[in-house]
Amino acid sequence: MGREAGKDEKQNGLSNLKTPSTDQDLSDTLLQIRSSKIPAVINYGASWCRVCNQIMPSFQQFSKEFTKLSFAYADIDDCPETTQHIRYTPTFHFYRDGQRVDEMFGAGEERLHDRLWLHS
């Protein structure tokens, strides 16, 4: 999904989810998060990760439900330089006032929902 498509979807209320597909895109997304006052969550996953694929539909749904949060999904294989610190997939990073304030490893729909509620 390109940047323009993401903007259009957000304006239509369909989604609040960015999917940076290169290291540069992810770096830009991280810069936007760090310079923004909007709380954000980044889901670091991989296409080959079974657990990542299981939680992704819920993550997409939550991006529509939690409209005060900014959402991003980054595939570690598409962004190898920017995600080299990620050791477990899925890993969720939560940001507030531009700073990472929380981290969650693994999936679990209810666990993720509760964490998103906490940070929204």
Which residue's entry shows tokens 């939690």? 66
What's the whole-model pTM score?
Answer: 0.87
- For CA atoms 70, 112, 27, 25, the dihedral sign is negative
Q: Is 79 a catalytic residue?
A: no
* pLDDT tens track, the chain, 120 positions: 343 343 333 334 456 899 999 999 999 999 999 999 899 999 999 999 999 999 999 999 999 999 999 999 999 999 999 999 999 999 999 999 999 999 999 999 999 999 999 999
Active-site residue (options: 33, 42, 46, 49):
49
Among 39, 23, 114, smallest CA distance to 74 is for 23
Q: Is 49 a catalytic residue?
A: yes
Active-site residue (options: 30, 42, 52, 79):
52
Q: Where are the domains of the chain?
A: 3-9+17-119
Topology of the domain covering 3-9+17-119? Glutaredoxin (3.40.30)
